[in-house]
Structure 1
Amino acid sequence: MNNLNGRLDKLRQLVQDRDFLEGKGLSNEVNIRIFCYDPQDEMTVTHFLNQIITDQSLDCNLIECNLYKLFIEICKDLDILDSIPDMEESEGSEYLLEQLHSAIGENEFIDKMREKYQPKIDDIMLLTGVGDVFPFMRVHKMLEAMQPFFSEIPILVMYPGVFDGNYLRLFDKLQPNPYYRAFNVV
């Protein structure tokens, strides 16, 4: 994960590459790529993303899907956002997490994504907020749920952790989760 700025420059070039956009070279697998970075580099990655998302000279369109912001929107839609702090204080974090998981799952995220985003050719779904939305949503479960609905465009996950081709390990500290349908990028 060294030389982050060089890797980010390569990522800027890669997202404009026709082979990347068309998913060539993936052996007919889904076009899901993961850009891993050290969690301590979050501010550098965020700065890069702010620049690239607004860059009008790119040959593609990046659709940022911040999973944490989606989670907040879903909580607002369910009219539960304001009650979350009180529930955590009175019932505890474990109980709150159980309640949130029973109310908000992958389907609610997918419904919100489909409501907000209608991707077209040359669009790339850029998943951000992966670390922020933990433990409310795990990215390996989200990617599995997204495949039937967003299979026509590349999905690029900005991941604060490591992916060895078989396991995702958030923050390079948590219990790894199996996920084999994605590819490391840069």
Structure 2
Amino acid sequence: MRTTNERLNELQARISDNQFLTKQGLGNEVSFYIFDYNPADELMVRSRLPEIERYTANKLDTPIKEFNIFDIATRFFEERQYMEKNYQMEQVKDSFTLYDRMQRALKTATERDEVIKYIREHYEDNAITFITGVGSAYPLVRAHTVLNNLQPIIVQKPLILFYPGVYEGNKLSLFNQFKDDNYYRAFRIVEP
């Protein structure tokens, strides 16, 4: 089994290949990929992504647009000045009530999902899309929901979701222990 660093090197080479950018060999499938990795390597993955982004932009003149779903959700609450209210609610009620209220405010898994709305408004047709922050946003925002809702939006260039866990046989297991709903349309971009 290869290390996460070795797999990140292969990822960098793969996305810098023009064949990858033109989606050759996928047939009519969506060009959605998952880079799954050991959750213990989260900080390494985070530190390597800017390097991969620079390398790809320089080699192919193709930018990478990163969307950190945890940052998007946090920004949503900060812009509406909900953060202090959220802290207070958790102290008075409990974490489950707060989670429920936050999920309703974000409208996750609905037609008006705020995370998806943000990505739709900032998406760039000519860029490879990176989705990060999956582990930090759990359970508020779920990976399979994000991927399902982005299918009609991200169609020009590939999307890569960075997943701290296992994606195997179309099954998602966050942190190698929380089973998420299955997602059948993505490909593992680099084998372990």
Letter in 2 for 1:91: K
SS state at 1:63 partner = strand
Residues 125 and 154 in structure 2, CA contact (< 8 A), matched pair in contact too: no
Q: In the alignment, what sits opposite 1:93?
A: 95
Instruction: Spell out the pairing of 1:12-23 with structure 2 (5 A cutoff).
Output: 12-23=12-23
**Partners in 2 of 1:100 and 1:85 — Cα distance?**
11
Structure 2 counterpart of 1:44, one-letter code: M
Q: Are positions 1:172 and 2:168 aligned together? A: no
TM-score after normalising by structure 2: 0.89
Deviation at 1:78, TM superposition (A): 3.1
Quick one: distance in 2 between partners of 1:175 and 1:17? 33
Q: 1:165, 1:183 within 8 Å by CA — same for their partners in 2?
A: no
Measure how far apart 1:67 and its partner are: 0.6
The code of the aligned residue for 2:129 comes to M
The C-alpha deviation readout for 1:144-174, integer Å capped at 9, x for no partner, is 0111111222110111001113211111111
Distance 1:81 1:64 in 2: 24
Percent identity between the two aligned chains: 33
Deviation at 1:89, TM superposition (A): 1.2
RMSD value over aligned CA atoms? 1.5
Aligned residue in 2 for 1:5? 5
> Letter of the aligned partner of 1:7 in structure 2?
R
- 2: distance between equivalents of 1:27 and 1:20? 13
The one-letter code of the counterpart of 1:114 is R
2:67 aligns to what?
Answer: 65
Secondary structure of 2:59's match?
Answer: coil
- Measured against aligned partners, the alpha-carbon deviations of 1:38-94 in whole angstroms (never above 9, x if no partner) come to 000111111111222234523121111111100111112333122111111111011
The structure 1 residue matched to 2:150, chosen from 133, 146, 152, is 146
Match of 1:51 in 2: 51
5+ unaligned residues in a row in structure 1: which ranges? none
Q: Is the 8 A contact 1:64 1:127 kept in 2?
A: yes
Distance 1:126 1:19 in 2: 18
Letter aligned with residue 125 of structure 2: K
What is the aligned length? 184
Residues 100-179 of structure 1 aligned to structure 2 (within 5 Å)? 100-104=102-106, 105-106=108-109, 107-115=113-121, 117-121=122-126, 123-179=127-183
CA distance in 2, matches of 1:170, 1:17: 29
Q: Give the Cα–Cα distance (whole angstroms) in 2 for the partners of residues 87 and 134 of structure 1.
A: 19
TM-score by length of 1: 0.92
